[in-house]
C-alpha cells in the first residue's frame, strides 16, 4: 500500500523531494527510500550510525517528523546545496565597496538555495552627502533594487527560487519610502518587507508623541509617531506589506542576548537571526499523533510526542555538522551556537480531532500546553546531547539562564542546563510548512487554521483532456471515513470564518513557548474597517507576539490574468486576439505531446552590432479553445550564437510545454542586461540581445491574446476580469496556473502545487 494519504501528496513528493538523476530518472523508488536516504545521511556523524539510522527512519516514517524541504530534498544527495533554510547576512557597511561585497555574499548564499534576510537600516538615507565624491547618496531603496535584480538573475541561471527579507528600522530617515515601496507592483518583487518596530516607537504611538528619524546621530526629520504608524498600517491594509517585527522584544527574549544582537529575520519571519546567523527547520506532525479522533477519548499521544521530539532534536543537531554552508562565516556562526528550529504542523487538524474550535478558549489553552510540552522535551533532549557531545561553544551557564525565554522555563529544566549545559542555544520555531504539509497528506499548515476543507484541482493530461481531483483536508478525510459525507460539526471553522482576534490569540499562545518566532498570517476579511485592522497589530503587540503579518484580499492583492482567443487577423498577419469567455491557465501533469501541425509566426530580429539577423519562430497550441505558446525556435547564421540559441530554444520550449502562467519568461529575458551595453531599437533602449528576444516573445503573446499588453506579464500582476464567475478569483499560480494562491504563514503560497513566493 502507498504511504501517501492523497494523490497530491505523492505528486508533491515526486516534484519536490524525490531524488532523481540528471536525466530525471528516479533514484528514490519509493517514499521509504527518501526516508532512508535522510536517516542514513543524518546518522553518518554518530558513533553508532546503524542504530541511529533506524531511529531516525522511525521518526520520519508515516510523515510523523517532517524535516524542512531543503533537508528532505538535499540530505544524502552529495549535491552542492545547503540543508539550512534560513540566513541573515552580515551587517551592510555604509560604503560602496562594502555594499557590493555584501551583494556578492548574498548571491553565493542564494545560489545554494538559502533564503536570506537583511537590515538595510545601516545604509545612509537618500540625499545624505557622500564624502569625497561631491554627490548625494541614493539611499537604501536604490540598493534594494540592485539586490532584487541579483535575485532575479540567480533564478534565471537555474537556481532554486530566491527568497529575501528586507528590513528597516522605524527611525530610519527613508522609512516612509520603504513603507510605500510595494505600492509599485513591479518593484522589489523578490523581497518580503518588514519594519523593525521598537518599544520606544510603540510608546510614542500610544502617547501621540513626535518621532525623530535619525541616521548616524543626525536627526533628519521629525514626524508624528501616530501618523507614521497609520502609514504603515495603510500600506499593509492595501498591499499586505510591510509586515511588523517587534525587534526590541525579539532581542529581550533571545536566549543569546548576552552575545549577539538581532536586526533582521529570515524571509518568512520565524527566525530572527544575528549577522551571518543560520537556522534549520523541522516540524512535528501533530495530526499524526492523535488517537481516537472525534470521540470522547480523543487525545494526543503525549509519550509518543515527547519521544519524537527527542529524536528530532538529535537529527536536526546532526544537520549542523552534515550540511554545507555557502560562506565560512555562516558555518562558524551555526556551529558556535547550534541553533535549530523545531516546530509543528497539523495543529488545526489535531484540534479538530479533539473537537476543539480553533481560536476558542479551549483550543488556545490546548495549544499552549502542547507547545510547552514540546519545549520541555526539546530542551531536555538538548541537555542529553550536551552530556554526550558537549554544549554549544558559546555557552555560559549563568548568562544563558538569565537571558530570554530561559527566565520563565521550568525550574527542573533550568537546573539540568546549569548542571550539564545544553547543545543548542535555541530550539523552537514555527516555520512555513505549506509544501511539506501537502506532502504529509494535506494536513493543516503550521499553526494556521485550515484554509479550505476541500477544493477541486484541475490537471491537464498529455492528450489535452482535463481531469479533476478533489483535495481534502486531512482531518476532514478522517471525519468522512468515520461518519460519511454529512454536514461537518460547528467546531470545523476555517480561515475565512475566523475573526482576526482568533488568529492573534493562537499566535500569542504558541509564542509563549517558542524561543525563536512564528511564521503566521492573520487573515482579515476584505470589508474590515481600517481602524479595526490597525487594532490587530496593537493586539499582537500587547499579547506578546514577536511580529505580525496580515492579509486582506482586495483588488491589488487578488489580481489575476486570464487568457483567451479570438482571431481576426488578415492572411499573413499575426493573429489579433481579444478576451473571450472561459480563459484560464491550467496545470499540466506532464509535458504535452507535440501535435503533427502547429500554427505560429516567425519574427526577424536584427541586433545593431551583429552581422546576421536572428529569426525567432513561436508555435502555439490550442487547448480547450484557447491559444497559448508551445515551443520556440531561435536561429542565426552567426555561429557564435549557436550554443546559447540552442540552449534557449530547448529551455523556453520546455517551460512552455509545462503550462501555467509562462509570462515570467518574458519578464526574465527583458531583465537581462549586457555589461558591454545594450542598443537603441525603434526609439527604445534594449539592455541586451536576450532582452530583445524577450520583447519579441512578449509581442507574440500579446498578438495571440495570452497577454493583455506590454509589461502586463507576471511581473506587474495586471488586473483583469475573470469570466464565468461572479466573484473575483485570486492570482494564478506562476508554477501550476491554478487560481489557488493564498497568503499562508507570511508568504503567498499555492494550495494546489505548494509553490511559494518565499522559496
Catalytic site positions = 266, 268, 270
DSSP string, 198-231: -HHHHHHHHHT-EEEEEETTEEEEEEEHHHHHHH
Asked if 421 and 400 touch (Cβ cutoff 8 Å), the reply is no
Is residue 198 exposed (0-12), middle (13-18) or buried (19+ Cβ within 10 Å)? Answer: middle
> What's the rounded Cα separation, in Å, for the pair 687 and 690?
8
- Residue 242: cis peptide before it, omega within 30 degrees of 0: yes
- Rounded to the nearest angstrom, the gap between the alpha carbon of residue 711 and the centroid of all alpha carbons in its chain is 25
| Nearest CA-CA partner of 348 in 545, 486, 507 | 507
> What's the rounded Cα separation, in Å, for the pair 758 and 115?
8
> What's the rounded Cα separation, in Å, for the pair 276 and 328?
9
Burial 393-430 (b: 16+ CB within 10 A, else e): ebbeeeebbebbbbeebeeebbebbeebbbbbbbbbbb
According to DSSP, the β-strands at 272-273 and 264-265 are antiparallel
> What's the rounded Cα separation, in Å, for the pair 200 and 401?
26
Q: Of how many residues is the chain composed? A: 759
| Nearest CA-CA partner of 697 in 657, 744, 664 | 664
| Nearest CA-CA partner of 268 in 245, 287, 246 | 245
In degrees, to the nearest 5, what angle opens at C-alpha 271 toward C-alphas 506 and 714?
A: 90
Cα dihedral 200, 203, 205, 211 in deg (nearest 10)? -30
Asked if 156 and 176 touch (Cβ cutoff 8 Å), the reply is no
> What's the rounded Cα separation, in Å, for the pair 225 and 235?
16
Measured CA distances, 616 to 408, 510, 613 (Å): 66, 56, 10
Which residues, at least 6 apart from 419, have a Cβ–Cβ distance to it below 8 Å?
Answer: none
Backbone angles phi, psi at 728, to 5 degrees: -65, 140
Q: Is the dihedral of CA 210, 211, 214, 220 positive or negative?
A: negative
> What's the rounded Cα separation, in Å, for the pair 112 and 160?
8
Burial 667-691 (b: 16+ CB within 10 A, else e): bbbbbbeeeeebbeeeeeebbbbbb
Asked if 80 and 112 touch (Cβ cutoff 8 Å), the reply is yes
Which residues, at least 6 apart from 721, have a Cβ–Cβ distance to it below 8 Å?
Answer: 562, 579
- Going by the DSSP 8-state scheme, the letter that residue 464 receives in this structure is S
Which residues, at least 6 apart from 51, have a Cβ–Cβ distance to it below 8 Å?
Answer: none
> What's the rounded Cα separation, in Å, for the pair 326 and 90?
13
DSSP string, 678-743: -EEETTEEES-HHHHHHHHHHHHHHHTTSSSSTT-SGGG----PPSS-SS---PPPTTT--S-EEE
> What's the rounded Cα separation, in Å, for the pair 759 and 746?
12
Q: Which neighbouring-strand residues pair with 115?
A: 86
Amino acid at each position: 500500500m502507498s504511504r501517501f494519504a492523497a494523490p497530491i501528496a505523492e505528486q508533491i513528493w515526486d516534484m519536490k523531494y524525490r531524488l532523481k538523476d540528471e536525466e530525471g530518472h528516479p533514484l528514490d523508488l519509493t517514499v521509504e527510500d527518501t526516508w532512508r536516504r535522510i536517516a542514513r545521511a543524518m546518522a553518518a556523524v554518530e558513533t553508532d550510525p546503524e542504530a541511529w539510522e533506524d531511529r531516525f527512519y522511525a521518526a520520519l516514517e508515516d510523515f510523523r517528523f517532517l524535516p524542512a524541504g531543503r533537508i528532505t530534498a538535499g540530505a544524502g544527495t552529495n549535491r552542492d546545496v545547503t540543508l539550512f533554510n534560513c540566513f541573515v547576512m552580515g551587517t551592510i557597511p555604509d560604503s560602496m565597496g562594502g555594499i557590493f561585497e555584501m551583494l556578492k555574499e548574498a548571491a553565493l548564499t542564494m545560489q545554494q538555495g538559502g533564503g536570506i534576510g537583511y537590515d538595510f537600516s545601516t545604509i545612509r538615507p537618500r540625499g545624505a552627502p557622500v564624502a569625497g565624491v561631491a554627490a548625494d547618496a541614493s539611499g537604501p531603496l536604490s540598493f534594494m533594487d540592485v539586490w532584487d535584480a541579483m535575485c532575479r538573475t540567480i533564478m534565471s541561471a537555474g537556481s532554486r527560487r530566491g527568497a529575501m527579507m528586507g528590513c528597516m528600522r522605524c527611525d530610519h530617515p527613508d522609512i516612509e519610502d520603504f513603507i510605500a515601496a510595494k505600492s509599485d507592483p513591479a518593484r522589489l518583487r523578490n523581497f518580503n518587507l518588514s519594519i523593525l518596530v521598537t518599544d520606544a516607537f510603540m510608546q510614542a504611538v500610544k502617547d501621540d508623541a513626535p518621532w525623530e528619524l535619525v541616521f548616524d546621530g543626525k536627526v533628519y526629520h521629525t514626524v508624528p509617531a501616530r501618523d507614521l504608524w497609520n502609514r504603515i498600517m495603510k500600506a499593509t491594509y492595501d498591499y499586505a506589506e510591510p509586515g511588523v517585527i517587534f525587534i526590541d522584544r525579539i532581542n529581550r527574549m533571545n536566549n543569546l542576548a548576552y552575545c549577539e544582537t538581532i536586526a533582521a529575520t529570515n524571509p518568512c519571519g520565524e527566525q530572527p537571526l544575528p549577522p551571518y546567523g543560520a537556522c534549520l527547520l523541522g516540524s512535528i506532525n501533530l495530526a499524526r499523533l492523535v488517537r481516537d479522533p472525534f470521540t470522547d477519548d480523543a487525545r494526543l499521544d503525549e509519550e509518543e510526542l515527547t519521544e519524537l521530539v527527542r529524536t528530532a532534536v538529535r537529527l536536526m543537531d546532526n544537520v549542523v555538522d552534515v550540511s554545507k554552508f555557502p560562506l565560512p562565516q555562516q558555518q562558524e556562526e551555526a556551529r558556535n551556537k547550534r541553533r535549530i528550529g523545531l516546530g509543528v504542523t497539523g495543529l488545526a487538524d489535531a484540534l479538530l480531532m479533539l473537537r476543539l474550535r480553533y481560536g476558542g478558549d479551549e483550543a488556545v489553552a490546548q495549544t499552549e500546553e502542547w507547545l510547552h510540552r514540546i519545549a520541555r522535551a526539546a530542551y531536555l533532549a538538548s541537555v542529553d546531547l550536551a552530556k554526550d557531545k558537549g554544549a554549544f561553544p558559546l555557552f555560559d551557564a549563568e548568562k544563558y539562564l538569565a537571558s530570554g525565554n530561559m527566565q520563565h522555563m521550568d525550574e527542573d529544566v533550568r537546573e539540568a542546563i546549569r548542571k550539564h549545559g545544553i547543545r543548542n542555544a535555541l530550539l523552537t520555531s514555527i516555520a512555513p510548512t505549506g509544501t511539506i504539509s501537502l506532502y504529509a497528506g494535506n494536513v493543516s499548515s503550521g499553526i494556521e487554521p485550515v484554509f479550505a476543507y476541500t477544493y477541486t484541482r484541475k490537471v491537464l493530461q498529455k492528450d489535452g483532456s482535463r481531469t479533476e481531483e478533489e483535495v481534502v483536508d486531512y482531518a476532514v478525510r478522517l471525519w468522512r471515513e468515520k461518519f460519511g459525507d454529512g454536514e461537518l460539526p460547528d467546531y470545523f471553522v476555517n480561515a475565512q470564518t475566523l475573526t482576526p482576534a482568533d488568529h492573534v490569540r493562537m499566535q500569542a499562545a504558541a509564542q509563549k513557548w517558542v524561543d525563536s518566532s512564528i511564521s503566521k498570517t492573520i487573515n482579515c476579511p476584505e470589508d474590515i474597517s481600517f481602524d479595526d485592522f490597525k487594532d490587530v497589530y496593537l493586539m499582537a503587540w500587547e499579547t506578546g507576539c514577536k511580529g505580525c503579518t496580515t492579509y486582506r484580499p482586495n483588488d491589488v492583492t487578488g489580481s489575476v490574468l486570464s487568457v483567451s482567443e479570438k482571431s481576426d487577423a488578415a492572411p499573413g498577419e499575426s493573429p489579433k486576439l481579444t478576451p473571450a469567455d472561459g480563459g484560464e491557465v491550467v496545470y499540466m501533469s506532464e509535458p504535452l505531446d507535440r501535435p503533427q501541425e502547429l500554427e505560429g509566426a516567425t519574427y526577424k530580429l536584427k541586433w545593431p552590432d551583429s552581422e546576421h539577423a536572428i529569426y525567432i519562430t513561436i508555435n502555439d497550441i490550442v487547448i480547450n479553445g484557447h491559444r497559448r505558446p508551445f515551443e520556440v525556435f531561435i536561429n542565426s547564421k552567426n555561429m557564435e550564437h549557436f550554443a546559447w540559441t540552442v540552449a534557449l530554444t530547448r529551455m523556453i520550449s520546455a517551460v512552455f510545454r509545462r503550462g501555467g502562467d509562462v509570462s515570467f519568461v518574458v519578464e526574465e529575458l527583458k531583465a537581462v542586461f549586457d555589461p558591454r551595453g545594450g542598443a537603441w531599437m525603434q526609439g527604445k533602449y534594449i539592455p541586451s540581445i536576450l532582452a530583445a528576444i524577450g520583447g519579441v516573445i512578449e509581442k507574440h503573446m500579446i498578438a495571440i491574446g495570452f497577454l493583455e499588453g506590454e509589461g502586463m506579464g507576471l511581473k506587474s500582476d495586471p488586473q483583469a476580469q475573470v469570466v464565468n464567475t461572479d466573484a473575483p478569483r485570486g492570482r494564478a499560480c506562476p508554477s501550476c496556473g491554478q487560481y489557488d494562491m493564498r497568503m499562508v504563514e507570511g508568504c503567498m503560497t499555492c494550495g494546489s502545487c505548494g509553490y511559494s513566493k518565499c522559496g
